[in-house]
Structure formats: structure tokens, C-alpha cells
Homo-oligomer: A and B are copies of this chain.
Amino acid sequence: MSGDAQISRLKPGRRTDIRRENERAILEAAEKVFAEAGFGGATMQLIADMAGLPKANLHYYFATKEDLYRKVVQQIFEVWLDAASSFDNAPGPVEGIGAYIDAKMDISRTHPHGSKVWASEVMHGAPVIQDYLETTLRDWTDGRIAVIQRWIDQGKMAPVNPRHLLYLLWATTQHYADFGHQIQTLNGGGPLSDKQWREAKASVKDMVLRGIGAI
């Protein structure tokens, strides 16, 4: 068989399955509710209903509303950081920034709720993730600024302000998630089609890469 050691990982057991599945369902429901109603507008009852569990059960897995919210935000942050790797090991801005735009646009499409929760959290002064901003995000930002600066020094792109380039990238890519409702309304009421998403990604990449003199 595939191994008797590491039972807790390879043969989870009913107990572990239950916990994992319930936590997953709760987090998924919470992400949606927090995104659609904001932290203050979200209710544990609504999250419970959407997860298909009694409210008291939520408090068994997550002590407080804040705890649950914190987990949701942390989860999003990890997805964001994963996408950041697109930046690395790229020979130049066309590949690096191009891949980053692709990755972030994909996240905006596949994780729109998460993006909204993040936006909401930051807009409200980042009461929960302030330390992440001051440590992880700051370090990540400094690192990418250095990469961009190197590309500039190597003559691979125009001497733009790397920091404001990053802001433009974040803003533009996340806009398709955070303001997805507005975009849908201006699109006739329905979500963007596969073709329209390709067009959006191509447009953004074209304007940005041209704007920084990389193409």
C-alpha cells in the first residue's frame, strides 16, 4: 500500500475529513458573504445558511466572527503571493510583467470574492492585516521595485517610477474583480465571455508594456 506512516496525511480518517470539509465550506461561504456585505454587514447566520450548517456549529470551528474573517483574509493573501512568483526568473519586463498581469487577471476572474474582501479590508484601514502590509507586502514590494529598476538600468524598459508602475498594475488587474459588477453592467448585464477576458488581458498587457517602453 501507499504507506502506513503519516497516517494523518495519507489516511485522514473520518474525523479529520469532517473538520477539513466543514472548515472549507465555512470559509468558502464566509468569503462570499464578506465580499458581498462587508464585514459589518455580514452575519454569522447568513454564512451558516450558505455553508449548510447551524450557526452554533460555526462557532465550534471559528471562535468569533473576527477569527473567521481573519482566516479568509489570510487565505486571500496567500493566493496573491503565489501569483507574485510570475515576476521572478523572468529575463525582462515583457515576460515578467506580462506574466504577472496574466496571473492577476486570472485571479480576478477566479477569485473575485477574495479580491473584494482584500479591497474592503484595506479601504477600512487594514485593521486585521496591518502587520502583513508592514512586513510581507513591504518586503515583496521592495524586491520587485529592485527587479524593475534593474530592467531599467539594463535598458529593457523606460525609466518609469517602479512604485507607481506596481500601483498601476495592482489597480488595473484588481479592478476587474472589485468593480466586476460595474463592468458587467456596462457589458450589458452579463459577465465577460472567454473571448472578452482574453481581449481584456491583451489590452491591459498592450497598454502597460507599451507604456513602460518594453515593446
| Interface residues of A, Cβ cutoff 8 Å to B | 35-42, 116, 119-120, 122-126, 130, 133-134, 137-138, 141, 158, 160-161, 163-165, 167-168, 170-172, 174-176, 178-179, 181-183, 185-186, 199-200, 203-204, 206-213
Q: How many copies does the complex hold?
A: 2
User: Does A167 contact B161, Cβ atoms closer than 8 Å?
Assistant: no
Q: Which residue of B lies closest to A208 (CB)?
A: B211
Find chain B residues with CB under 8 A from A130 CB: 185
B124–A38 CB distance below 8 A: yes
A211 to chain B, nearest CB (A): 3
- Bound-state Cα–Cα, A205 to B41, Å: 37
A201 smallest CB distance to B (angstroms):
9
Nearest CB of chain B from residue A186's CB, rounded to whole Å: 6
